[in-house]
Amino acid sequence: MENKKKSSASGFVAVLLLVVAFLLSWFWIVPQYRQNKADTTQVDYDLTAAKAKLDSLKSAKSTLDSLGTTADSMLVAIPSDQDTGNTITTLEAIATANQMYIPGFQISDNSGTISVSFSISGNFAGTNGFIKGIEDNLRFFAIKSVSVAPADDGTFSMTLALEAYTQGSSSSVGSEMSAETIQ
């Protein structure tokens, strides 16, 4: 009988441990599992959001890189200073490319613009090429006036007035102008 009691007590303890294990799993392990699953879902969501942000930053970087190239081109097109020497060099290069010669320039530096007047002569194709070269140049030139006259030898004489733009200078002296003639 005592064996039966021991066996019955062992069975009761085993059942009790089984019930405790079940209750423990039901009230502690299952909620912990659910919380871990929710945390995993949140981490997956955060990871997806971080990857989207990273892709957005990569796209912004490539846009900024391309803008850097554009900004460099803009600094050539509209320089930050009144670089009259570069303006003259650019015009002479366009003339040379079209087999023309500019004997002299009349230049006025204004705040934000360089006004240039000059005469040039050559054949019809050269004068057309020269105007097209000014229009197609990366540097911004505005042709203010053009006068064309035919010469006796079949060439054309052209007088131009144009402006080259700069970013201006905050330290410049308002509307004071200086004019120089380069020959």
Res 97: pLDDT: 93
- Domain 84-182 is in which class? alpha beta
Q: What is the pLDDT of residues 152-167, one digit of tens each?
A: 888 888 999 998 887 7
Q: What is the pLDDT of residues 112-144, one digit of tens each?
A: 788 899 999 888 899 899 999 998 888 888 899
> Where are the domains positioned within the chain?
1-77, 84-182
Residue 87 identity (one-letter amino acid):
T
Res 177: pLDDT: 40
- Positions of E strands within the chain: 105-110, 113-122, 141-150, 156-165, 178-182
Res 117: pLDDT: 93
- The predicted model gives 8-18 an average pLDDT of 80
What is the rounded average pLDDT for all residues in the chain? 78
